[in-house]
């Protein structure tokens, strides 16, 4: 039936090439074969799912690793561990030498900054940040960084809390610092949920974290654009956090991560119910491996304790407490994002429907009153917004890894030498000498208005405070009256029943080798592959199929749009109601909270005046080293853009100065930050004060020549750079 020989032996004289009958026969054979191959891939997905579970769902990393710390053995155990990724190039070098692990360690630079990746624990398992060679881990290894990975196991430890997880990760970072005493503080990359976990970690222990990279990470949970970001309304329409408590109680105190995955899948029903599977069916000859590799991660469902999911939903998604500065953990620590000391890079995308740019970026204007406050905090915040990549693509797509991820990791050393402030990272394609595309990186200074322009204002966030109040009330009632009853009916058996009956699991094991009905597909598939005859894309019926598939997808999208519109109208109808406002006042606008905000604002005004006075007093302080750094910074920022080539050239100049060479990196960075702040406070005064810092004419000439060389490091001298050079030259009387 499926043999090419049989097909070739048929008399096609009545159906010449291109005739309707011939195309119909070609399509019929093709679609029958594709159907068998499609269902065989679905069978393999289910069988792989079972094998993955039986193997305790290991991370989907393609890199080898060694376990460094296992938090399951801590005094307050958690289901986390710290592993070190093996660099295959170093392993090969060690093998060539026939050496041992000590030989390998010697080939790794002790001065290279380590990098720690924290993957999301939001229903799925760990490893997506290193599931292919072209990934975050791959890019970091290519640039010589020692790479560590924070992984976790399927089930949490009994009594595990969010604070326990944070404290375990603190111990991980302490161990990384201990293993790399000569290197700078590690870069921490947080993907999605791992992003806000990394931000909490950085705010609680800023002494352990260097540059912080947040990829598709939500920090401002109420933000979004009306008519575009419907996921934020779910909590209000479901009555708040009590439903998570109910689901945890039904599973004997554990929350099934498959429920979180289900929520994500329902965001785009066209993809869930049609597009993903149709894409496999239409391209079954080439899509099999990619589909199965992704499904291995997507179908690995991990659990949380009731306390963990309750604190996450109540404190973050419904309470929005991170940006409000009121997020407290079980160990008593209160998280203030202003405590983050290292540079922060935020990577968002317009195509992300799970963490839209507003949720990734609005924490910046909500935590800091202005860019001037960022500068006073001596903080560097950088953001980059991709025009179309989806949520998972931010930390999975190979195209992103080879461009944005590569350049972000390649720029981490430069971040700490940027003048404090807010920047947008711009990556331009630049053909190199070999005709291949390379990338030119620059940092464009930005104002808060640039971030606010991505949103439609904060007025639409006002109802969410009333959602929080209602959620707290509903949760109290549930815990007082219903929770004890539900818990009395729950056990390990009920949890197992709910686990097995979850739709996302049924659709996997239901079409695995456990199902006798799949035997026929498994038997026929190899024969079909051997005798495959694909209808060409020009086939009339293939074109009709594509058109029908597109129509089905459009119908699902129409359903999604109508559903989202209805939910938004319902949400606004409920929570814009003055009666609801009166019954459930926003806990964040209480008189005590408003008094606390007013006090903080008054203290900030005093601090602002004191900061300016202190910087003005230092206008003439310092010697040749400080003056040189001030001049270089003035020239680099003159054209309104911080160019990577100019920064690297300036860094080379600074490190060649004898006095500056003796400084610790932290001392040098402190001088750079101080001189940056002096220039930001009184640029003209800072330039006029240069002669007081360099009395010898030979020093002035040498410093000016170095400043000139930096101005042309990017291949051109901009008008503003020339103007600043003239201003410096006049001040130095050269």
| Cβ–Cβ < 8 Å for 713, 638 | no
State what percent of residues in the chain have pLDDT above 90.
65
Across residues 471-490, what is the average pLDDT?
95
Identify the pLDDT of residue 344: 97
Asked if pLDDT for residue 417 goes beyond 90, the answer is no
227 vs 448 pLDDT, higher one: 448
Nearest to 214 by CA among 350, 399, 344: 344
pLDDT at res. 648: 80
pLDDT-derived band of residue 520, with 50, 70 and 90 as boundaries? very high
Could you identify the residue written with the tokens 């991980």?
Answer: 172
pLDDT of 99 reads: 43
Q: What is the pLDDT of residue 716?
A: 77
The single-letter DSSP state of residue 233 is G
How does pLDDT run across 86-133, given as a tens digit for each residue? Answer: 987 655 544 544 444 443 344 678 889 999 999 999 899 999 888 888
What's the pLDDT score for residue 5?
A: 57
pLDDT given for residue 250 in this prediction: 96
Give the residue with greater pLDDT, 293 vs 589: 293
Confidence of residue 38 (pLDDT cuts 50, 70, 90): very high
Average confidence score pLDDT of the chain: 89
Q: Average pLDDT, stretch 70-77? A: 96
Q: Which domains are seen in the chain, by residue range?
A: 65-222+330-456 (3.40.50.1820), 620-731 (1.10.3680)
Q: What is d(CA 153, CA 164) in angstroms, rounded to the nearest whole number?
A: 15
Q: Confidence class of residue 670 from pLDDT cuts 50, 70 and 90?
A: confident
Residue 97 is predicted with a pLDDT of 47
User: Which is more confident, 644 or 525?
Assistant: 525
Find out whether 359 and 221 touch, Cβ atoms under 8 Å.
Answer: yes
Express each pLDDT in 331-369 by its tens digit. 888 999 999 999 999 999 999 989 999 999 999 999 999
pLDDT of residue 307: 96
Cα dist. 216→54, 213, 596, 733 in Å? 31, 10, 31, 51
Average pLDDT over residues 135-139: 92
**Is pLDDT above 90 for 605?**
no
pLDDT value at residue 106: 42
What are the C-alpha distances in Å from 83 to residues 26, 127, 147? 52, 11, 9
Residue 230 confidence (pLDDT): 85
**Token representation of residue 315:** 């404190």
Mean pLDDT is lowest, of 345-354, 517-526, 599-608, 627-636, for 599-608
Q: What is the pLDDT of residue 6?
A: 54
Q: Which runs of E-coded beta strand occur in 198-292?
A: 212-215, 254-256
CB contact at 8 A, 442 and 644: yes
List C-alpha distances in Å: 180 to 111, 114, 115, 176, 187.
8, 8, 11, 6, 13
d(CA 450, CA 443): 14
pLDDT band of residue 694 (cuts 50, 70, 90) is confident
CB 635 within 8 A of CB 714: no
How confident is the model at residue 108, as a pLDDT?
Answer: 76
pLDDT at residue number 436: 47
Closest CA to 522 of 40, 76, 166: 40
How confident is the model over 707-727, as a mean pLDDT? 84
Q: What is the mean pLDDT of residues 498-505?
A: 96
350 HSE (CA, 13 A, CB side): 7
The pLDDT value given to residue 435: 43
pLDDT value, residue 507: 95
């Amino acid at each position: 039936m499926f043999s090419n020989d049989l097909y070739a032996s048929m008399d096609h004289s009545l159906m010449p090439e291109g005739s309707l009958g011939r195309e119909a026969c070609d399509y019929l054979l093709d679609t029958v074969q594709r159907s068998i191959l499609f269902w065989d891939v679905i069978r393999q997905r289910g069988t792989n799912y079972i094998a993955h579970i039986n193997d305790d769902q290991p991370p989907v990393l393609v890199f080898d690793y060694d376990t460094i710390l296992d938090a399951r053995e801590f005094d307050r155990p958690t289901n986390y561990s710290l592993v070190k990724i093996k660099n295959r190039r170093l392993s090969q070098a060690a093998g060539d030498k026939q050496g041992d692990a000590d030989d390998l360690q010697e080939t790794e630079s002790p001065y290279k900054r380590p990098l720690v990746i924290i993957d999301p624990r939001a229903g799925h398992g760990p490893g997506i940040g290193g599931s292919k060679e072209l990934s975050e881990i791959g890019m970091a290894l290519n640039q010589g960084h020692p790479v560590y990975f924070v992984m976790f196991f399927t089930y949490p430890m009994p009594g595990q809390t969010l604070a326990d997880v944070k404290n375990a990760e603190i111990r991980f970072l302490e161990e990384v610092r201990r293993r790399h005493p000569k290197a700078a503080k590690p870069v921490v990359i947080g993907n999605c949920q791992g992003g806000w976990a990394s931000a909490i970690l950085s705010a609680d222990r800023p002494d352990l974290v260097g540059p912080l990279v947040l990829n598709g990470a939500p920090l401002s949970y109420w933000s979004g654009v009306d008519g575009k970001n419907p996921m934020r309304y779910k909590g209000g329409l479901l009555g708040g956090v009590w439903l998570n408590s109910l689901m945890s109680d039904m599973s004997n105190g554990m929350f099934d991560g498959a429920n979180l995955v289900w929520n994500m899948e329902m965001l785009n029903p066209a993809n869930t119910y049609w597009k993903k599977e149709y894409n496999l069916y239409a391209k079954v000859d080439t899509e099999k491996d990619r589909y199965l590799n992704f499904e291995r991660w997507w179908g690995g469902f991990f659990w949380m304790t009731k306390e963990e999911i309750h604190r996450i939903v109540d404190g973050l998604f419904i309470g929005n407490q991170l940006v409000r500065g009121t997020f407290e953990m079980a160990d008593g620590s209160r998280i203030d994002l202003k405590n983050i000391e290292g540079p922060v890079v935020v990577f968002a995308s317009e195509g992300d429907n799970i963490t839209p740019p507003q949720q990734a970026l609005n924490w910046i204007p909500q935590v800091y009153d202005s860019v001037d406050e960022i500068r006073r905090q001596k903080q560097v915040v950088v953001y980059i917004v991709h025009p179309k990549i989806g949520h998972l693509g931010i930390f999975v797509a190979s195209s992103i890894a080879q461009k944005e991820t590569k350049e972000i990791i390649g720029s981490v050393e430069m971040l700490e030498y940027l003048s404090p402030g807010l920047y947008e990272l711009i990556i331009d394609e630049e053909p190199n000498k070999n005709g291949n595309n390379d990338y030119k990186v620059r940092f464009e200074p930005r104002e808060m208005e640039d971030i606010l322009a991505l949103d439609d204002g904060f007025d639409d966030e006002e109802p969410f405070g009333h959602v929080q109040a209602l959620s707290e009330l509903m949760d109290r009632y549930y815990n007082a009256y219903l929770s004890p009853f539900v818990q009395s009916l729950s056990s390990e058996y009920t949890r197992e029943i709910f686990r097995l009956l979850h739709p996302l699991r049924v659709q996997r094991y239901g079409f695995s080798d456990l199902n006798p009905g799949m035997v026929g597909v498994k038997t026929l598939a190899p024969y079909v592959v051997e005798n495959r005859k694909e209808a060409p894309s020009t086939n009339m019926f293939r074109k009709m199929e594509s058109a029908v598939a597109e129509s089905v997808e459009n119908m699902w999208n129409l359903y999604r749009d109508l559903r989202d519109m209805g939910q938004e109208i319902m949400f606004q109808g409920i929570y814009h109601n003055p009666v609801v406002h009166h019954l459930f006042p926003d806990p964040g606008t209480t008189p005590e909270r408003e008094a606390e905000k007013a006090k903080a604002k008054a203290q900030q005004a005093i601090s602002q005046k004191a900061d300016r006075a202190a910087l003005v007093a230092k206008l003439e302080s310092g010697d040749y080293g400080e003056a040189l750094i001030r001049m270089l910074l003035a020239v680099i920022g003159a054209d309104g853009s911080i160019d990577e080539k100019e920064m690297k050239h300036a860094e080379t100049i600074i490190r060649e100065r004898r006095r500056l060479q003796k400084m610790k990196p932290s001392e040098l960075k402190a001088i750079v930050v101080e001189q940056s702040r002096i220039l930001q406070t009184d640029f003209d005064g800072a330039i006029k004060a240069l002669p007081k810092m360099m009395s010898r004419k030979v020093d002035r000439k040498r410093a000016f020549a170095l400043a000139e060389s930096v101005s042309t490091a990017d291949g051109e001298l901009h008008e503003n750079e020339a103007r600043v050079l003239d201003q410096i030259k006049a001040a130095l009387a050269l």
